[in-house]
């Protein structure tokens, strides 16, 4: 049950014309209309926002995903791990909230990113009626470092990085109902760590104790949402040990989980549209989303 939903006002009132005319350009909405906590300025690099992508009302499933593009916590791969994912969702009647979170390369380190992703899930839940979304079918989907951010969202949803509740939106649950992790960074304190992501998230002086606490394979519990993981064995950037560690943690805690490891394929392929073999992985995801009530059979 999502506490306080009936009394939460819509954040950043938006006219949702896309439901009338079909798929359209996304609507940009700030996560904190009055300014994000800890922000150092008013530009897009300081004020996190979501791009809301919606398909035609006749195709609406009621499900939604918060999308976390990768980029090593230093940039955002906003096309193939953001826009293209949103379009894929819209084709299946799924609303997409593409998250532009704050970056280590711009001076923002943990816990800022956790704060941003929690707010994005709560934003989607608070505005469920506006976007015709079921507040109990809001997932999170991330790639690479965005996969680590999504895994933090899936495991650390009860933490309060801001220290206290800021407004009525923050009264809502930040727990996603599903998680999809594409070649995710998971461990921050082992030989399999992607050092660039760790340094950008924690800062150059980030210590091992914090890194261990944010190694999300150690944070999985029975409350972690069902999770789908895609990885390639040949990925030399984010090693498969990351995905496998999260998969095994889910098994230990009896969290429903599905893992697909393809033998070939480089890092950062997104939907892999140009690869005849890898491009089948979204079909496996489609089947899994049907299993969990997030999509209809194609």
Give residue 243's pLDDT: 98
Q: Which two tokens stand for residue 138?
A: 């809001």
Cβ atoms of 93 and 126 within 8 Å: the answer is no
| Overall pTM > 0.75 | yes
pLDDT at 59: 73
Q: Please write the tens of the pLDDT for every residue from 14-46.
A: 433 333 334 568 999 999 999 999 999 999 999
Mean pLDDT of 256-269: 98
Q: In whole numbers, what is the pLDDT of the chain averaged over residues? A: 91
| Cβ-contact 254, 222 below 8 angstroms | yes
Cβ burial of 199 (10 Å; 0-12, 13-18, 19+) is: buried
Domains of the chain plus CATH, in order, are: 24-291 (3.40.50.1820)
Parallel, antiparallel, or unpaired for β 49-53 and 95-100?
antiparallel
Residue 270, pLDDT > 70, answer yes
pLDDT at 24: 62
Choice among 9-18, 98-107, 108-117, 219-228 with the minimum mean pLDDT: 9-18
| Bridge partners of residue 92, in order along the sequence | none
């Amino acid at each position: 049950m999502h506490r306080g939903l009936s009394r939460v006002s819509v954040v950043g009132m938006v006219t949702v014309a896309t439901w009338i005319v079909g798929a359209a350009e996304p609507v940009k909405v700030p996560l904190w209309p009055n300014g994000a906590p800890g922000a150092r300025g008013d530009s897009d690099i300081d004020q996190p926002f979501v791009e809301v992508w919606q398909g035609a009302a006749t195709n609406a499933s009621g499900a939604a995903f918060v999308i976390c593009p990768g980029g090593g916590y230093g940039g955002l791969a906003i096309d193939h791990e953001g826009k293209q994912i949103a379009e894929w969702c819209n084709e299946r009647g799924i609303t997409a909230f593409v998250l532009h979170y704050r970056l280590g390369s711009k001076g923002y380190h943990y816990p800022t990113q956790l704060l941003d992703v929690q707010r994005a899930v709560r934003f989607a839940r608070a505005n469920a009626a506006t976007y015709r979304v079921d507040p109990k079918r809001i997932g999170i989907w991330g790639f690479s470092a965005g996969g680590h951010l999504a895994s933090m969202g899936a495991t650390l949803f009860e933490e309060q990085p801001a220290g206290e509740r800021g407004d009525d939106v923050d009264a809502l649950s930040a727990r996603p109902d599903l998680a999809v992790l594409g070649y995710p960074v998971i461990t921050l304190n082992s030989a399999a760590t992607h050092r660039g992501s760790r340094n950008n998230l924690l800062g150059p002086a980030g210590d091992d104790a914090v890194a261990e606490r944010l190694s999300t394979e150690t944070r999985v519990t029975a409350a972690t949402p069902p999770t789908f993981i895609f990885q390639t064995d040949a990925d030399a950037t984010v090693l498969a040990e990351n995905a496998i560690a999260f998969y095994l943690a889910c098994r230990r805690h009896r969290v429903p989980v599905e893992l697909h490891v393809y033998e070939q394929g480089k890092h950062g392929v997104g939907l892999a549209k140009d690869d005849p073999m890898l491009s089948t992985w979204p079909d496996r995801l489609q089947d899994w989303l049907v299993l969990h009530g997030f999509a209809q059979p194609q």
